[in-house]
Amino acid sequence: MIPGLEDLFHESGVDIVLGAHEHSYERTWPIYDLQVLNGSNDSPYTDSKGIVHIITGSAGCRENHTRFNPTPPDFSAFRSTDYGFTRMTVFNRTHVHFEQVSDDQDYAVIDSVWVQKTQPGRPVWSWSISEGKKMVVKSILYSAEPSSSNLAETPCLIIGHLNLLRNAVPFDAVKVKLGDFVAPDLYREAVDKLNPGTTADIIPLYLNKAAVAALPTKCSRHNAPSQPHAFYNVLKGWNPPEAPVGDVSESHIVIVCFPQDVLSLGCAVARAFPLYSAKTGSVFAVKAVQDSANLLPTTPNRNTRTTADTKESRVIVEFIVIPNISASEEFAVDRAIVRRSLDTISYLADGIRLAARIVDTPPNLMTTTALVKEAQQVAQQVGAEILVIKGEELRDRGFGALYSVGKASVEPPYLVVLSHRPKDSQGKKLKKIAWVGKGITFDTGGLCIKTPKNLMCGMKRDCGGAAGVLGAFQAAVRSGFDQELYAVLCIAENSISADATRPDDIIYSYSGKSIEINNTDAEGRLVLADGVAYAQKDLRCEVIIDMATLTGAQGIATGRYHAAIVTNNEYYEFLAYRMGKITGDLNFPLVYAPELHFSEFHSAVADMKNSVANRDNATSSCAGLFIQSHLGFDWPGVWVHIDMASPVHAGERATGFGVALLAGLCANYSESPLLRGLPQIADIADKFSMVSTPDFSGPLTRESGINDAIRPPLQ
């Protein structure tokens, strides 16, 4: 028996029968050692007043469960297809949570029931919408302080670092959110019982409508101190019910944090609520049996639930910002919660959700032409100029590498350039900055086709670099950017046809260099070679940052959460690492040694091959060097390469990676006080970063990192 379960339900006078029921075999078996024996009503208690019966079964389960005599079930839930298994969690001896989890859909939650203990008498029941029915959040709004709301209509999650919740947020600070539904003693008891370690901890306060969560207390020096990934995981697992009536379903998230964590946690909210969905309706059918006390209303089935597609769903994010009591310096981040700063976070959130939507959209919809239309819409929204070079025009104008990748597809390849110039720039010498993004809308691998077959699944995400660049450009210009900024999108579909580029072909890039093709699945570096060469030759940019889902080896080198950085500039290498920790777009540098590694691309008949000779010699670094070679290794400008093949997605969903990172890398050129202060924020936050020890350290006891003494200050 799960600890706390017996006390919870025996005191409430309710027995639980919980089992997986597979009708094709006509059997029920116990789960988690609960008292379910062959479908009988064997109970450890003789004074039971009711039964909760949750079963998973085959389609159309409507059989009469008369064998549960003498007492009929208070509640029955039936799945329509693909039975799974059921799991149960007890929280704080006051709540129990049942989840029906699919064993064939990545353990997705299908049905969810929350039970809360009340005094006196029977529990209160609440039926929550399943994961499959979860509505798409259309808008995310940010506020500088908690507003008054009603838990009966508006679910609320309160989340922050444990010491802040315990020491700086009394019940009175959140009473406007919890009202009379949660007693002060219950709130304090829940906060005291929170016990996060390397993962977050969450305790319900009122059914599944209110909860308090603490972020991990342990953090290594290569993680973000604000814990945005743990924050993201809490939000993905939080599944509040929809509003029962009205045209709007609204949920509130109250974030308790330090000023320097506002941006990263605000962006993490955007990553947790993707925009794209092709779900057409319910994935389950439910029959709710009302008992004599009318505890549970009948849940509408998929045929009667018609408002989900028309109801607007939105999330309100409200901050409770705690001053940095350990910091004596006055720095820009303490002005984070002002209207303009919240606007900046909103712009970044919009850019992140735009990038994620592009990456999530299937390739039959997000074609190369459709991606160009997305860029045109952004240009129109922010008042940027746009140049589109299409199809054979690319070949005629010398973009041989980009054209060679996309010429086999029925959808033409494109080079798209969005240009932002400050309105008051006359007579001023402005820095020219280019963000270059790889936009492969689908990658078959070309004639070097991806094998085995599962390697091709998910290749819609190969446009993640261009999507991130587009989202970052939108956010940067909306926030105000006082230098010239260009977004160069290299868009193509790497397909197969009689016109496809072959291994052994020799092509010429926009840089004028010849390339012998020895791997058509190394196409990203080809399109980026033309993109960076254009930024150098035509746009005459001094800073060129390219971003791409470039290599599978990136995930091996730096993992699922950290992008890989290759750059010719040590300051930008350090800046990218620090900005990753403060924005949540984590990254880590790879070796930069062209004199050691570029020989991997040696060709006997061309200037270079497009893939390495040895796959055990810093392949991700080499891929970046291939791109830089089209600028020239002696080019005096700044070049930064961001390989984000793994962090572009988390599971089946895109993350919008790179939007916040690019904004941080060019924060000095922003007119936003929040972005402009990011280098100083990173410098201050690093003084409170966690040390890399087995015991880590708590959020309010951040000690200086072990390498602080040799780190140059950010400028």
Strand order in the sheet with 608-609: 506-508, 514-516, 608-609
Return d(Cα 488, Cα 491) in angstroms, integer: 9
Please report how many Cα atoms fall inside a 13 Å half-sphere around the Cα of residue 92, on the Cβ side: 26
| pLDDT computed for residue 47 by the predictor | 31
Instruction: Please give the span between the terminal C-alpha atoms of the chain, in angstroms, as a whole number.
Output: 59
Return d(Cα 508, Cα 398) in angstroms, integer: 8
| pLDDT computed for residue 700 by the predictor | 35
Nearest-5° Cα angle at 449, 445 to 450: 80
Q: To the nearest 10°, the Cα dihedral for 490, 496, 499, 501?
A: 60
According to DSSP, the residues that pair with 206 across neighbouring strands are: 210
| pLDDT computed for residue 207 by the predictor | 80
Burial of 504 (0-12, 13-18, 19+ CB in 10 A): exposed
According to DSSP, the residues that pair with 114 across neighbouring strands are: 97, 126
- Run of H or E residues at 438: strand 432-443
- 585 and 223 in contact (C-beta within 8 Å)? no
- 43 and 69 in contact (C-beta within 8 Å)? no
Return d(Cα 155, Cα 250) in angstroms, integer: 7
Among 461, 525, 578, 702, which one carries the catalytic annotation? 525
Return d(Cα 577, Cα 565) in angstroms, integer: 8
Q: If you ran DSSP here, which 8-state letter would residue 334 be given?
A: G
- 15 and 50 in contact (C-beta within 8 Å)? yes
* Catalytic residue flag (residue 395): no
- 89 and 75 in contact (C-beta within 8 Å)? no
Return d(Cα 438, Cα 420) in angstroms, integer: 20
The one-letter amino acid at 554: Q
The tokens for 401 are 């590498």
Return d(Cα 610, Cα 599) in angstroms, integer: 12
The tokens for 606 are 């061309």
| pLDDT computed for residue 546 by the predictor | 98
Bond from prior residue into 70 cis (ω within 30 degrees of 0): yes
**Nearest CA-CA partner of 225 in 271, 254, 257, 269:** 257
| Residues contacting 347, CB < 8 A, separation 6+ | 474, 475, 478, 479
Return d(Cα 404, Cα 279) in angstroms, integer: 36
Burial of 245 (0-12, 13-18, 19+ CB in 10 A): exposed
Return d(Cα 34, Cα 22) in angstroms, integer: 17
- Run of H or E residues at 112: strand 109-116
SS3 360: helix
Among 93, 335, 395, 450, which one carries the catalytic annotation? 450
Return d(Cα 159, Cα 94) in angstroms, integer: 20
| pLDDT computed for residue 108 by the predictor | 57
| pLDDT computed for residue 49 by the predictor | 30
- 248 and 315 in contact (C-beta within 8 Å)? no
Return d(Cα 353, Cα 657) in angstroms, integer: 10
**Nearest CA-CA partner of 472 in 375, 571, 327, 606:** 375
- Specify the pTM: 0.81
- Run of H or E residues at 675: helix 673-676
| Residues contacting 264, CB < 8 A, separation 6+ | 224, 226, 228, 582, 583, 584, 660
- Run of H or E residues at 353: helix 339-360
Burial of 260 (0-12, 13-18, 19+ CB in 10 A): buried
Per-residue pLDDT reduced to its tens digit, 449-481: 998 877 899 999 999 999 999 999 999 999 999
Q: What is the CA radius of gyration of the chain?
A: 28
- Please list the rounded mean pLDDT of every run of 10 residues in the chain (715 residues): 40 38 33 31 32 34 35 36 47 59 52 55 41 71 93 93 95 95 93 93 89 95 95 91 72 93 96 89 28 31 39 90 62 53 95 98 97 98 98 98 98 98 83 98 97 89 98 97 97 98 98 98 98 98 98 97 98 96 97 98 98 96 98 97 98 97 96 87 58 35 32 42
Which residue's entry shows tokens 């984590």? 586
**Percent of the chain at pLDDT above 70?**
69
| pLDDT computed for residue 378 by the predictor | 98
Please report how many Cα atoms fall inside a 13 Å half-sphere around the Cα of residue 515, on the Cβ side: 33
Return d(Cα 608, Cα 636) in angstroms, integer: 22
Return d(Cα 17, Cα 683) in angstroms, integer: 56
Helix/strand/coil (H/E/C) assignment for every residue in 495-544: CCCCCCCCCCCEEECCCCCEEECCCCCCCHHHHHHHHHHHHHHCCCCCEE
Burial of 343 (0-12, 13-18, 19+ CB in 10 A): middle
* Catalytic residue flag (residue 578): no
To 10 degrees, what angle do helices 262-272 and 228-237 make?
40
Return d(Cα 364, Cα 384) in angstroms, integer: 28
| pLDDT computed for residue 35 by the predictor | 32
Q: What domains, with CATH codes, occur in the chain?
A: 5-128 (no CATH), 139-281+308-327 (3.40.50.10590), 358-677 (3.40.630.10)
| pLDDT computed for residue 290 by the predictor | 27
How many helices and strands, by DSSP H and E, does the chain display? 19, 27
- 219 and 197 in contact (C-beta within 8 Å)? no
Return d(Cα 660, Cα 258) in angstroms, integer: 18
